[in-house]
Amino acid sequence: MTRRKDTASSSKLSRGEDPRLAQTRDLVLSTAVKLLLNEGLGQLTAFRVHQETGVARTTIYRQWPTQTDLVVATLERLTVPGDPFDDTEDFEADMRTLLLRLKKRMEKRQVRQLVAATLAMAMEDFDHAPLIRSFLNGLLRSIRDRIHREAKRAGMTKHETERLYDRIVAPFMFRHVMMLGTIQPEQVDDVVKQTMIALGFGSSEHHRHSSM
């Protein structure tokens, strides 16, 4: 997966950056996070950030020329990478561990708020779909990376890889996001087991295949 680079915000952040600029950027983005979560996409503008922080709009526009740039930077600020994960060579066990980690993250109030906010963005304007996809890909990156490593090891096609990813992630996300429900550990096990069966192999058979 190729991650979209926020050139408006990332290209100016290193190599001897003025500490005052870094402090201003942090103030703007932390305020943007609060506006997105508490007031929605419509209020995530340079004018509202200026009202809340006192930072000049020209300064904000210099870093993020458009609202889209500001939204992307805000989403990237919120998409914190998960803990590092090392494969165990047991695909089922790895998926169970990663889904339980995702479950724990999505039970946090801020993450639930952010998911709701991104869905509202899609309802308001479908042009925001790529931004939402970028956020969700960040949230699911560890799972997606593990699936892609398994697919490469097993010689799966791109279509088979996406099918595997959808079968594992879709039921989990649907219950959390659309149904606002809580996933139990037993349900995580069921999702993984049903996925393995649907793809034509059981746990012991697949474990042997993965270890070869």
* Stated pTM of the model: 0.64
Supply the pLDDT for residue 202.
54
Please report where in the chains the tokens 């991650």 appear, as a residue: 3
Q: What are 5-25's pLDDT values in tens digits?
A: 444 444 344 455 678 888 999
Supply the pLDDT for residue 201.
60
Supply the pLDDT for residue 181.
72
Supply the pLDDT for residue 60.
95
Q: Secondary structure of the chain in the HEC alphabet?
A: CCCCCCHHHHCCCCCCCCHHHHHHHHHHHHHHHHHHHHHCHHHCCHHHHHHHHCCCHHHHHHHCCCHHHHHHHHHHHHCCCCCCCCCCCCHHHHHHHHHHHHHHHHCCHHHHHHHHHHHHHHHHCHHHHHHHHHHHHHHCHHHHHHHHHHHHHHCCCHHHHHHHHHHHHHHHHHHHHHCCCCCCHHHHHHHHHHHHHHCCCCHHHHHHHHHC
Euclidean distance between CA atoms 103 and 83, whole angstroms: 14
Q: What is the pLDDT along the chain (212 residues), one digit of tens a residue?
A: 333 344 444 434 445 567 888 899 999 999 998 888 788 777 889 999 999 999 999 999 999 998 888 988 887 787 655 566 788 888 888 988 998 888 888 777 777 777 777 777 667 777 767 777 777 777 788 888 888 888 888 888 899 888 888 888 888 777 776 676 777 888 888 888 887 777 666 544 444 444 44
Supply the pLDDT for residue 10.
42
Euclidean distance between CA atoms 146 and 94, whole angstroms: 8
Supply the pLDDT for residue 54.
95
Supply the pLDDT for residue 53.
95
Supply the pLDDT for residue 17.
63
DSSP-assigned letters across all residues of 82-95: -------S-HHHHH
Supply the pLDDT for residue 200.
63
